[in-house]
Structure 1
Amino acid sequence: MDDERLVQLDRSQVNKAVLALQAFLKSKPTGKKLFKNESQNISILFTLWKIPNEAQTIRIPLPHAERTSSEEVCLFTRDEPQMTTDQTVRFYKKLMEERGVTNVTEIIPFKVLKTEYKPFEAKRRLLGNFNMFLADGRIRRRLPSQLGKHFYEKKREPLAVNLQSKHLAQDIQKVVQGTSVKINNKGACCMARVGHSGMTADELTENIEAAVQTVAGKIRMAGPALKIIHVKSERSVALPIYTSGLGHLMKTKATEEEKESAAEETDEDTKQTLAKEKNGKKRKVEEEEDDDSGDEDIPQLVPIKTKGKKLNVRHKKRRPADKKHASILLKMSKKGVRSPKPKRKANVSKRK
């Protein structure tokens, strides 16, 4: 992780905010609660410097489990070939026992989800019966069309798990024990659940520190991204635990000014070079015009005779018949006799 992306949290300030929040939750009347030991979720609210360009989901591993032991976890599995639904359920229950997985409370094959939970009311009951949903990574892409939009609107969509992993218990424990945060490209705020009111102040403080550093390192934004961080419960006021400084903004302004000045200098240099090129072209044109004005163009209408060379002029030779005809015409013109006209052929009409 880069040093610029690290968030320097004041541990004492975070601990004070957690203690104040726990004191507020204890002082609140419990008349509306069904159980006295019912706990409330505690979350941290991130405010970013700007809206991200793309949506992102970040998984956050936590040192202490942010869910209570009484929460129900449901696992969606694929349909095993050449097995009925009951056989697939028994197969995966046996697999969980062999791998030492104790977090999963119920297993639902994909075929059961597709048939028994097709009505809207059945999907709502399924959403209310469980606190967390896991899914086999091989069928995760097929679940949105079967679950509907309510799971995704309430941010309860199933998290992918590799059921073929050799360390299945550790992988599921990380997913159940950890949390996740969804960063969308429609706003500058996002929230992540880091614990519950039944945890101690030190456990909550450690979870908050781990979540903040993970989000600061994995978020896809250039430079520092977190502006303000608050901690709050479901119905309490948000308590600030971190506020970013303005040092990076001054740096960005300085770099922008340097870029603008460099761009202006390059523009001036390009203008000067263009002006020099234009002046050089004008000078060349003027010099060419001066050279052309000194030379007089002599029209060569008659071919110039060169010594030792004769012009090849071809004369037509008269035919002997033409010579005789010309001599006869000269004699007749001297005697005053007109040249005879050629006789016309008489048009003889054909008689029937």
Structure 2
Amino acid sequence: MESPRDELDLDRSQVTKAVQALQACLKSSSSSQKLFENDNQAISLLLTQWKIPRKEQTIRISLPHGLRTESGDVCLFTRDEPRMTSEQTVRFYNKLLTERGVKNAIEVIPFNMLKTEYKPFEAKRRLLGNFDLFLSDARIRRRLPTHIGKHFYERKKAPLSVDLESKHLARDMERLIQGTSLTVSNKGSCCMVRVAHSGMTADEMVENVMTAVSTISAKLAMTGKNIKIIHLKSQTSVALPVYTSDLSHLAVVEEARKKARLTKGAKKRKRENKNTEVSDLKTKETEEEKDSIEEEIPQLVPIEMPTKKPKQETISKKGLKKVPKPAAGKGLKKTVKDTKLTKKTPKVTARDLKRKAKNK
């Protein structure tokens, strides 16, 4: 069985034939419609797969010939620098890009400006139409989806993250701006990626197509043999076939899927066995703890109780006397009538009598 990173054997002569036919079609259409004579049409690869992938995947492709000119429409979302206004932040990052050697014209939008000026829905739609490529500072990439809206992702213009603190910033920006990206959806078997434009020469288009196909087949999550058909087309032309896979590739894809299922089932069984072993160990430990606790508990010794019970002191019914309950009002009146005020008289002794007689 082949490895999951097998590259496709793309015929270069077939690609050149398709490119030449596409250029001839574009020339005939531009001569009939002079209105779009100066516009460069995008040329894309249309890929059809044997099996729909289970997970969505984004593949970044670096092309030998760039798709955009130096005056291309590129927007960069940056973070807000501390103690700086939005205008000062824009000047700061423009100066940083020129110092690092970035040649492309890039419009900088700080995060605070994005939240305030581009908060309405119409402003977001206008921003989406004004730029062809969006980049974002890696430090604010997770905060962007709630502020830019779902239309950026529906049109496949999601901002690509870039590390602005990198030492090779110019090289990284050049790869992102002059390259392209493919979004492999898990909702269908077809996907499209832009690889050239009508202003390029035939050799440049062929080189871009060859490098894009080799990168896609190498970076696909599933085996490269999952690609069924590859077409080359522009915005107005028909799709010209470039590559068609063999039916044996479908068997290879099915074998790869079976192997993946078996490995997944084996991993699941290992996890279940580990969980059962851990639970068995826990139950054994708990049983051992219970046994040790039961061994530590001392045996109860019976206490001898006295045979004769002590006599309890009983109070005779005769000793108890009923006390009359005093009436609420009558008792108080009687007690007031019966009480007499008594004066204390001093005691007279014999000495006192003698003193009185002498004084007389």
TM-score (norm 1): 0.69
The question of whether the paired residues in 1 share the 8 Å contact of 2:225 and 2:253 is answered with no
Aligned positions of 1:134-173 closer than 5 A:
134-173=135-174
Unaligned residue ranges in structure 2 (runs of 5+): 259-360
Please list the CA deviations of residues 171-201 of structure 1 after superposition, one character each: whole Å capped at 9, or x if unmatched.
0000011101001111111111001000011
Q: CA deviation at 1:68?
A: 3.5
Determine the structure 1 residue equivalent to 2:299. Answer: none
Unaligned residue ranges in structure 1 (runs of 5+): 258-352
1:225 aligns with 2:263: no
Distance 1:105 1:256 in 2: 44
1:223–1:108 distance in 2 versus 1, CA, 3 Å: closer
Determine the structure 1 residue equivalent to 2:214. Answer: 213
Determine the structure 2 residue equivalent to 1:189. Answer: 190
Q: CA deviation at 1:109?
A: 0.2
Determine the structure 1 residue equivalent to 2:40. Answer: 39
For 1:26, give the aligned amino acid. Answer: K
**SS of match in other structure, 2:204:** helix
Determine the structure 2 residue equivalent to 1:7. Answer: 8
Determine the structure 1 residue equivalent to 2:17. Answer: 16
Determine the structure 2 residue equivalent to 1:244. Answer: 245
**SS of match in other structure, 1:28:** helix
1:2–1:136 distance in 2 versus 1, CA, 3 Å: same
Q: CA deviation at 1:34?
A: 5.3
Worse-superposed segment, 131-140 or 219-228: 219-228
For 1:245, give the aligned amino acid. Answer: D
1:53–1:111 distance in 2 versus 1, CA, 3 Å: same
**SS of match in other structure, 1:74:** strand
The question of whether the paired residues in 2 share the 8 Å contact of 1:49 and 1:227 is answered with yes
CA-based RMSD: 2.3
Q: CA deviation at 1:120?
A: 1.1
Distance 2:244 2:6 in 1: 14
For 2:226, give the aligned amino acid. Answer: A
Determine the structure 1 residue equivalent to 2:82. Answer: 81
Distance 1:250 1:75 in 2: 45
Worse-superposed segment, 26-35 or 148-157: 26-35
1:252–1:167 distance in 2 versus 1, CA, 3 Å: closer
1:57–1:23 distance in 2 versus 1, CA, 3 Å: same
The question of whether the paired residues in 2 share the 8 Å contact of 1:67 and 1:196 is answered with no
The question of whether the paired residues in 2 share the 8 Å contact of 1:4 and 1:223 is answered with yes
**SS of match in other structure, 1:18:** helix
The question of whether the paired residues in 1 share the 8 Å contact of 2:4 and 2:222 is answered with no
Determine the structure 2 residue equivalent to 1:176. Answer: 177
1:198–1:255 distance in 2 versus 1, CA, 3 Å: closer
Q: CA deviation at 1:222?
A: 3.9
The question of whether the paired residues in 2 share the 8 Å contact of 1:67 and 1:195 is answered with no
Distance 1:135 1:57 in 2: 16
The question of whether the paired residues in 1 share the 8 Å contact of 2:70 and 2:105 is answered with no
1:135–1:242 distance in 2 versus 1, CA, 3 Å: same
For 2:147, give the aligned amino acid. Answer: Q
Q: CA deviation at 1:58?
A: 0.5
Q: CA deviation at 1:17?
A: 0.2
Aligned positions of 1:246-325 closer than 5 A:
246-249=247-250
For 2:92, give the aligned amino acid. Answer: F
% identical equivalent positions:
61
TM-score (norm 2): 0.67
The question of whether the paired residues in 1 share the 8 Å contact of 2:223 and 2:256 is answered with no
Distance 1:90 1:250 in 2: 57
1:199 aligns with 2:200: yes
Worse-superposed segment, 174-183 or 239-248: 239-248
1:84–1:7 distance in 2 versus 1, CA, 3 Å: same
Distance 1:21 1:62 in 2: 20
1:130 aligns with 2:131: yes
Distance 1:134 1:256 in 2: 36
The question of whether the paired residues in 2 share the 8 Å contact of 1:74 and 1:104 is answered with no
Q: CA deviation at 1:217?
A: 0.9
Please list the CA deviations of residues 13-48 of structure 1 after superposition, one character each: whole Å capped at 9, or x if unmatched.
100100100110110046767563210000001111
Please list the CA deviations of residues 306-343 of structure 1 after superposition, one character each: whole Å capped at 9, or x if unmatched.
xxxxxxxxxxxxxxxxxxxxxxxxxxxxxxxxxxxxxx
The question of whether the paired residues in 1 share the 8 Å contact of 2:62 and 2:180 is answered with yes
Distance 1:13 1:118 in 2: 49
Worse-superposed segment, 99-108 or 51-60: 99-108
Aligned positions of 1:66-105 closer than 5 A:
66-105=67-106
Distance 1:24 1:232 in 2: 10
Determine the structure 2 residue equivalent to 1:112. Answer: 113
Please list the CA deviations of residues 144-183 of structure 1 after superposition, one character each: whole Å capped at 9, or x if unmatched.
1111111111111111110000010000000011101001
Distance 2:191 2:36 in 1: 30
Distance 1:133 1:16 in 2: 34
Q: CA deviation at 1:125?
A: 1.3
The question of whether the paired residues in 2 share the 8 Å contact of 1:43 and 1:191 is answered with yes
Q: CA deviation at 1:255?
A: 10
